[in-house]
Amino acid sequence: MNSVKGLLRNTMEDLCEKDLKKMKHLLRDDGKIMWSKLEHADGDDIVDLIVEVYTEEKSVETVINKLKHMNLNQKVEDLQKHLADVKAESPASQSVDSTVPTTERGFLVGDRVRVRASVVEPKHKWGNVTHSSVGVVKAFKPSGLMLVDFPGKPGWTAEPSEMELQGFVVGDRVRVKTTVKEPKHKWGSVTHSSVGVVKDFIPNGQMLVDFPGHSAWRADPSEMEYQGFMVGDRVRVKASVEEPKYKWGAVTHSSVGVFKAFTQNGLMLVDFPGVTGWTADPADMELLGRSSVPNHYRIIDYY
């Protein structure tokens, strides 16, 4: 019987020199393994480093994510199949699902989650959810199962051991956490109320965020939080806002509109009754309700 480590080593052995080099660069870009250790490492060494840093439980997901990034989808399928065979052969695999911790802190209501890349078939089936679907934890059942709202599939039942927290991705709306007094890379013209768009990730694990008036602001992901407006959301101006940044026009505090798009500089376009394309600073707005929209509307066209 192959071990997880053995499966990963077989996968590395099957990579050509060019793909192995790309794997090293992708691991370096995560910022968790020093390039001095990766640069001259062979396939076995790379697996040892991955398991050491990410733990064996998460090492398969890490490798699968890198293979997907490299568009090596057949190798992803092969690894997932062999992993399923290993789990089926393991006596312990029949009883560990409800006891293995899913994250360092566990899941909380409001967390953004997705199915782990190493899961071939969720215990409660896919429905129209996929590995790339990102949902929000809405509640927990007495049995410990989670209810997750995915776009187009609210109340999806999930086994916590099959889920993972979704980190930031390019296109996410973010802001600095209110608990952060001074960002690692300083404020510049950004404030706690500023809402920006994740533009890119750089090799040391930091993010580049485009804020209105300050593009490519460098951010430490641990200091940021998700700002959750999505196309189709029902929104209104916060009661605490005396004067919106872009003026009232015919809109009032009691007006309820539908969020239609983001502009290139991170502002919102909202359709209110009688007022279409009203420009709003996200910091001035609050969410009233969410519509179920297809996944491909998660990151939208800019105007």
> Is residue 217 a part of any domain in this protein?
yes
CA distance linking residue 35 with residue 139, whole number of Å: 41
293 — pLDDT class (breaks 50, 70, 90): very low
For residue 290, give the H/E element and its range: none
> Is residue 136 a part of any domain in this protein?
yes
Q: How would you classify the pairing of strands 146-150 and 135-140? A: antiparallel
- Among 32-36, 110-114, 204-208, top mean pLDDT goes to 32-36
Residue 195 has pLDDT above 90, yes or no: no
- State the CATH number of the domain containing residue 63: 1.10.533.10
Residue 2 has pLDDT above 80, yes or no: no
Q: Do both 249 and 269 map to the same domain?
A: yes
> Is residue 271 a part of any domain in this protein?
yes
CA distance linking residue 238 with residue 52, whole number of Å: 47
- Among 31-35, 66-70, 122-126, 197-201, top mean pLDDT goes to 122-126
Residue 193 has pLDDT above 70, yes or no: yes
Q: Do both 10 and 63 map to the same domain?
A: yes
Q: Do both 207 and 242 map to the same domain?
A: no
CA distance linking residue 164 with residue 117, whole number of Å: 9
What's residue 12's pLDDT? 93
Q: Which two tokens stand for residue 189?
A: 């013209």
Q: Do both 76 and 13 map to the same domain?
A: yes
89 — pLDDT class (breaks 50, 70, 90): low
What's residue 106's pLDDT? 65
114 — pLDDT class (breaks 50, 70, 90): confident
Q: Do both 200 and 216 map to the same domain?
A: yes
Q: Do both 158 and 182 map to the same domain?
A: no
Tell me the pTM. 0.38
Q: Do both 67 and 12 map to the same domain?
A: yes
88 — pLDDT class (breaks 50, 70, 90): low
Number of domains in the chain: 4
CB proximity list for 2: less than 8 A, separation 6 or greater = 10, 82, 85, 86
Range of the domain at 281: 234-297
Last residue of a domain, one of 130, 145, 165: 165
Residue 257 has pLDDT above 60, yes or no: yes
Last residue of a domain, one of 94, 128, 151: 94
| Other CB atoms within 10 Å distance of the CB of residue 76 | 20
What's residue 299's pLDDT? 34
> Is residue 177 a part of any domain in this protein?
yes
Q: Do both 13 and 77 map to the same domain?
A: yes
Tell me the per-residue pLDDT of 156-192, one tens digit each, with 9 for 90 and over.
Answer: 999 998 988 777 777 777 889 888 899 999 999 999 8
> Is residue 216 a part of any domain in this protein?
yes
CA distance linking residue 212 with residue 209, whole number of Å: 10
CA distance linking residue 185 with residue 232, whole number of Å: 34
> Is residue 118 a part of any domain in this protein?
yes
For residue 76, give the H/E element and its range: helix 73-89
Q: Do both 211 and 161 map to the same domain?
A: no
> Is residue 103 a part of any domain in this protein?
no
Query: What is the longest distance spanned by two Cα atoms in the chain?
Result: 70
Q: Looking at residues 97-124, what average pLDDT do you find?
A: 68
What's residue 95's pLDDT? 37
> Is residue 106 a part of any domain in this protein?
no
Q: Do both 181 and 221 map to the same domain?
A: yes
Q: Looking at residues 149-153, what average pLDDT do you find?
A: 81
Task: Tell me what percent of the residues of the chain surpass a pLDDT of 70.
Answer: 84
Order of strands, sheet of 234-237, starting from the edge strand that comes earlier in the sequence? 275-280, 268-272, 257-262, 234-237, 285-289
CA distance linking residue 161 with residue 106, whole number of Å: 10
What's residue 189's pLDDT? 92
